[in-house]
Amino acid sequence: MQSKIYRIIGAILLGAGLIFSQNAPADLAKKYIKSGSLLYFPLKNAPFPHPDRENGYVYKDKTYPKLDHYDDNKVAVFYPHEFQMNKKSVNVIVYFHGWYNNLDSIIRTFGIIDQFVKARKDAILIIPQGPKNAPDSFGGKLEGQNGFKYMVDEVIDILYNLTLLETRNVENIIIAGHSGAYRVISFILLRGGYTDRIREVYLFDALYGQTEKYTWWIDHYQGKLIDIYTPDGGTKAESENLMTDLTAWQIPYLSVIESELTPDQLRTNRLVFISSEQEHNEVVFKTENLWRFLEASPLKTIPR
């Protein structure tokens, strides 16, 4: 009875943004209040700050200083009201944004939380702040050994201490990312510390490089990879090259046009390459692809 009371108190405080958090923008918190609690946590193990960006970053002769670009240690966490507390384990979905973006902009523009809520998966959603409003794919601390695990565990510890989780054990992880997120995801697959628990990876017009790390993961683990690419986003050639390699290695995969993709194909194929006619940013939200991919995932669906 006492633990239940603590859970209720913790949920009230979490929803009000009173502890362990820097409040999310009022309009976003209000938008999602019926579905769950949106909080921005300042984390020790967030991607930034990082020593390699202490003096900022230069791209095409323009400097992006540490201040306002690499000094933000916030991570957005969305905890659904209908999350079904499991004493044994918790599922986690992590989304990484691309260039020239920040937490507020991607939540507003790309419908990440809306699609997550629509999928009704029994999981919590984590959105780290990467390079803020900068043309940079660097993953900061998450590129280091076990860096991803440290960040996820810190979020789990906070929710556990709020008695919103009854366990610290992470069972299943899905990672999704758009555009420049390809780099941080590749390092997470290589040495992030939770590689054996990553069940699915979604690349939204994001396979620009680091392909050897993805092929290593495909070869050593049994997780699913979904790569959706556009004709003009810069990822078409790399995606086609990877398919050529998979053919040579006799590793089965599905190559399909987005308009012909079926839910059954998403459920039954381990490696899926989707050719889309959408614009670079549209592949995430216009046809709600994040929702489609999550819905086809094996994560438990919360009943209505």
Asked whether residue 302 is assigned to any structural domain, the reply reads no
At residue 11, the pLDDT reads 52
Find the domain containing 181 and state its range. Answer: 2-295
Cα–Cα distance for residue pair 210/10, rounded to 1 Å: 41
CATH number at residue 198: 3.40.50.1820
The count of structural domains within the chain is 1
Rg for the chain, CA atoms, rounded: 19
pTM of the shown model: 0.92
Asked whether residue 137 is assigned to any structural domain, the reply reads yes
At residue 83, the pLDDT reads 82
At residue 26, the pLDDT reads 86
List all residues 6 or more positions away from 263 whose beta carbon is below 8 Å from its beta carbon: 292, 295, 296
Asked whether residue 300 is assigned to any structural domain, the reply reads no
Cα–Cα distance for residue pair 204/238, rounded to 1 Å: 13
Asked whether residue 35 is assigned to any structural domain, the reply reads yes
**Digitized pLDDT (tens) for each residue of the chain, 304 residues in all:** 334 444 554 555 545 444 445 678 888 988 999 999 999 999 999 999 999 999 999 999 999 999 999 999 999 999 998 887 777 899 999 999 999 999 999 999 999 999 999 999 999 999 999 999 999 999 999 999 999 999 999 999 999 998 889 899 999 999 999 999 999 999 999 999 999 999 999 999 999 999 999 999 999 999 999 999 999 878 999 999 999 999 999 999 999 999 999 999 999 999 999 999 999 999 999 999 999 999 999 999 988 8
Asked whether residue 304 is assigned to any structural domain, the reply reads no
At residue 2, the pLDDT reads 37
